Amino acid sequence: MKHKGFIFDMDGVVVDNHSFHFKAWMEFSKKYNFPLNSEIYRDTFNGKTNSDLFRMIFGDISDKECKLYGDEKESWYQSLYQKEMKPHTGLVDYLKHLKEQKVKIALGTSAPTMNVNFTLDNLSLRHFFDVIIDGSQVSQGKPHPQVYQLCAKELGLDPKDCVVFEDSLAGLESGKSAGCSIIGVATSHTESELKSHVEQIIYDFTNPIVLEL
């Protein structure tokens, strides 16, 4: 294989769940009376940590307040998604393939720990990942490269030997800035929207491209 490390974003990559996050955020925006629509969500919310988002919405609030708002919003999201959740198409077979190739695998996400646990444990995916970095472990959200720099470091690899799977524009910028190869996953953005940011684009993990990495 061309790469020694494979790094996966979670929301929109491991699971195709953006519509459920959007519904939860819309409920949250109605309760707390701030403007939100699909365009604002797509262009400014994807890839950011909850702390970044709640400070963007409410101003200079404390870490405790960020956590309280985050727990509320994520509880709504989890209740909406629980019965519908499933791994993204072809993901499990691809992860098994990577394990057979004895490469290293990481999860690199801005999502809070409660959502990482919710996703990986309910879908029995945790054992595939050698390293898991979530929003609680980074001080800079995407598009800052910190999350993918940390993933590569924890995998014991140079970023140039890693490939990142990302659905958001901020995430693709993060992976590229970290020095990794990047693959766009067309879930939260269309292929045409991704084209100006990344050369290789997949819809899911049944695409033959992924076997050539």
Q: Tell me the three state secondary structure of residue 6.
A: strand
Q: Is pLDDT larger for residue 32 or for residue 1?
A: 32
What's 172's domain CATH number?
3.40.50.1000
pLDDT tens across 165-178, in order? 999 999 999 999 99
Same domain, 43 and 118: no
pLDDT tens across 109-146, in order? 999 999 999 999 999 999 999 999 999 999 998 999 99
Q: Locate the DSSP E strands across the chain.
A: 5-8, 104-108, 131-133, 162-166, 181-185, 201-202
For the chain, what is the domain count?
2
* Residue 152 tokens, joined: 């590569």
* Contact in structure between 155 and 129 (CB atoms under 8 Å): no
* Contact in structure between 126 and 20 (CB atoms under 8 Å): no
Cis amide leading into 87 (omega within 30): no
Range of the domain at 72: 18-81
- The contacts of residue 92 (CB under 8 Å, 6+ apart) are 125
Backbone φ and ψ of 150, nearest 5°: -65, -40
Same domain, 146 and 201: yes
| CA 79 to the chain's CA centroid | 19
Q: Is 121 exposed, middle or buried (0-12, 13-18, 19+ CB in 10 A)?
A: exposed
Same domain, 12 and 106: yes
Closest CA to 84 of 16, 168, 175: 16
pTM above 0.95, yes or no: no
Q: Tell me the three state secondary structure of residue 20.
A: helix
Q: Which residues pair with 182 in a beta bridge?
A: 164
pLDDT tens across 150-165, in order? 999 999 999 999 999 9
Amino acid 136 reads S
Same domain, 27 and 64: yes
pLDDT tens across 27-43, in order? 999 999 999 999 899 88
Sheet holding 131-133, edge to edge: 131-133, 104-108, 5-8, 162-166, 181-185, 201-202
28, 63, 81 — which closes off a domain? 81
* Rounded-to-integer distance, Cα 119 and Cα 87, Å: 9
81, 116, 132 — which closes off a domain? 81
Average pLDDT score over the chain = 95
| CA 186 to the chain's CA centroid | 13
Same domain, 196 and 93: yes
Same domain, 194 and 170: yes
* Rounded-to-integer distance, Cα 179 and Cα 162, Å: 8
Same domain, 167 and 179: yes
Residue 44: the pLDDT is 86
* Rounded-to-integer distance, Cα 122 and Cα 105, Å: 19
* Contact in structure between 167 and 183 (CB atoms under 8 Å): no
Same domain, 178 and 206: yes
Same domain, 73 and 96: no
Q: In the chain, what percentage of residues exceed pLDDT 90?
A: 91
81, 108, 128 — which closes off a domain? 81
Amino acid 82 reads Q
What's 40's domain CATH number?
1.10.150
Same domain, 11 and 92: yes
Same domain, 108 and 200: yes
Asked which of 8-12, 45-49, 165-169 is least confident by mean pLDDT, the reply is 45-49
Same domain, 75 and 113: no
